């Protein structure tokens, strides 16, 4: 790649300018973006499944209406992100094929089962909470279409997080059985939520370069620490116990120290060995195949319209 183009690109990024689809960019920058944005899109789409399972079982009409809206929002986020990735020269078909063939990654978090209604509350509180922590800085990511997509996504995620925390509050202040469910959900979702931020910085192959190119604005460990610091007091307010015996306020660093994450589990889930990974992929492929007629009908309609316009 011509050095003067690389230098000019690096200078623009360093000056906090947005890079736009038709601008020159190093091939490795393009590839990293396609990787991250498509994984992010897949996460939004697969992320609909654990919650979608509970739409018919939501405990009230109000909860059902909220959950329906939330799941639809996630579909919107996924489509937004696929569009952003398409501006980099990859096609929607390629990305979906990569997901369905098991080649593409998506967030580890969606490979855990949603066993009770409290899991839906915990997902809103913790999973959307972690997602926002990661996505707010991405509103300033160096690639324009990705940054702009994040603005809207963050507004919606923030509603998701609040509704989750509100649902959790009701359970935590409810009957003994409801409190037990809330605590059990926190026990199961806490560690997987911390894993959402990715491997520790010294084991993260992409962080250094992505930080230099300002694709990532904060590192995995920085964001994980912020998430712990914000979330622990919320758990205390709920009267719930974070399942970590090593959790302790560290006055000197002005943040919490926390226990070791089980990275063996993380890498196993990344490899596709998560507790419900097979079910998730099967649900995606079934939806794709069973709804092929919708894509065919849309194509047929388009062809008829084009033929009519040409006549």
Measured CA to CA, the distance from residue 46 to residue 52 in angstroms comes to 10
For residue 114, state whether it binds ligand FAQ (rule: CB under 6 A). Answer: no
Contact 74, 48 (CB under 8 A): yes
Q: Pick one of 34, 38, 40, 125: the residue that binds ligand FAQ (CB under 6 A).
A: 40
For residue 68, state whether it binds ligand FAQ (rule: CB under 6 A). Answer: no
Contact 249, 239 (CB under 8 A): no
For residue 156, state whether it binds ligand FAQ (rule: CB under 6 A). Answer: no
For residue 90, state whether it binds ligand FAQ (rule: CB under 6 A). Answer: no
Closest approach, Cβ 219 to ligand FAQ, in A, equals: 8
For residue 149, state whether it binds ligand FAQ (rule: CB under 6 A). Answer: no
Task: Please name the helix (run of DSSP H) or strand (run of DSSP E) that holds residue 210, with its range, or none.
Answer: helix 207-212
Give the residue from 47, 111, 114 showing the smallest Cα distance to 274. 111
Cα distances (Å, whole numbers) of residue 95 to 177, 268, 274, 281: 43, 23, 21, 14
**CA–centroid distance for 80 within its chain:** 13
Piece of the chain touching ligand FAQ by CB under 6 A; list 1-9, 58-66, 192-200, 254-262 = 192-200
Q: Pick one of 22, 93, 103, 205: the residue that binds ligand FAQ (CB under 6 A).
A: 205
For residue 193, state whether it binds ligand FAQ (rule: CB under 6 A). Answer: no
For residue 116, state whether it binds ligand FAQ (rule: CB under 6 A). Answer: no
Residue 17 carries which DSSP code? P
User: How many beta carbons lie within 10 A of that of residue 67, not counting itself?
Assistant: 22
Q: Which is nearer to ligand FAQ, 202 or 245 (CB)?
A: 202
User: Token digits for 126?
Assistant: 């913790």
Give the residue from 167, 61, 39, 176 showing the smallest Cα distance to 109. 39
For residue 134, state whether it binds ligand FAQ (rule: CB under 6 A). Answer: yes
Number of residues that bind ligand FAQ (CB under 6 A): 29
Strands (DSSP E) contained in the chain are: 248-250, 255-257
Q: Pick one of 29, 199, 213, 284: the residue that binds ligand FAQ (CB under 6 A).
A: 199
Piece of the chain touching ligand FAQ by CB under 6 A; list 38-46, 89-97, 238-246, 291-299 = 38-46
For residue 217, state whether it binds ligand FAQ (rule: CB under 6 A). Answer: no
Closest approach, Cβ 206 to ligand FAQ, in A, equals: 3
Closest approach, Cβ 309 to ligand FAQ, in A, equals: 39
Piece of the chain touching ligand FAQ by CB under 6 A; list 1-9, 36-44, 52-60, 233-241 = 36-44
For residue 44, state whether it binds ligand FAQ (rule: CB under 6 A). Answer: yes
Q: What are phi and psi for residue 143, nearest 5 degrees? A: -95, 115
Q: Which is nearer to ligand FAQ, 140 or 306 (CB)?
A: 140
**Which residues, numbered 251-290, are part of the site for ligand FAQ (CB under 6 A)?**
270
For residue 105, state whether it binds ligand FAQ (rule: CB under 6 A). Answer: yes
Give the residue from 153, 42, 29 showing the smallest Cα distance to 94. 42
Buried b (16+ CB within 10 A) or exposed e, 116-133: bbbbbbbbbbbbbbbbbb
For residue 131, state whether it binds ligand FAQ (rule: CB under 6 A). Answer: yes
User: Token digits for 210?
Assistant: 């992505």
Binding site residues, ligand FAQ, CB under 6 A: 35-36, 39-40, 43-44, 47, 74, 105, 107-108, 123, 127-128, 131, 134, 195-199, 204-207, 210, 216, 220, 270
């Amino acid at each position: 790649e011509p050095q003067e183009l690389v230098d000019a690109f690096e200078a623009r990024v360093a000056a906090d300018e947005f890079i736009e689809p038709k601008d020159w960019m190093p091939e490795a920058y393009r590839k990293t973006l396609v990787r991250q944005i498509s994984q992010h899109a897949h996460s939004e789409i697969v992320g609909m499944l654990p919650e979608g399972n509970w739409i018919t079982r939501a405990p009230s009409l109000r909860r059902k209406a909220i959950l329906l809206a939330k799941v639809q929002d996630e579909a919107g986020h996924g489509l937004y992100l696929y569009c952003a990735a398409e501006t980099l020269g990859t096609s929607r078909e390629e990305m979906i094929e990569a997901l369905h063939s098991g080649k593409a990654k998506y967030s580890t978090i969606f490979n855990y089962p949603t066993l009770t209604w409290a899991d839906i509350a915990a997902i809103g509180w913790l999973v959307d909470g972690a997602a926002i922590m990661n996505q707010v800085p991405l509103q300033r990511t160096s690639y324009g279409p990705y940054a702009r997509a994040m603005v809207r996504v963050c507004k919606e995620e923030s509603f998701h997080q609040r509704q989750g925390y509100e649902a959790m509050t009701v359970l935590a202040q409810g009957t003994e059985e409801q409190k037990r469910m809330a605590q059990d959900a926190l026990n199961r979702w806490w560690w997987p939520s911390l894993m959402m931020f990715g491997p520790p910085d010294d084991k993260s192959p992409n962080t250094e370069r992505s930080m230099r190119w300002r694709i990532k604005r904060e590192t995995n460990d920085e964001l994980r620490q912020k998430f712990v610091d914000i979330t622990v007091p919320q758990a205390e307010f709920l009267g719930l116990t974070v399942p970590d015996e090593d959790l302790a306020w560290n006055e000197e660093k002005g943040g919490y120290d926390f226990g070791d994450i089980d990275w063996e589990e993380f890498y196993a889930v990344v490899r596709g060995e998560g507790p419900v990974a097979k079910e998730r992929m099967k649900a995606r492929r079934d939806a794709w195949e069973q709804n092929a007629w919708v894509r065919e009908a849309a194509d047929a309609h388009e062809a008829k319209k084009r033929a009519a316009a040409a006549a």
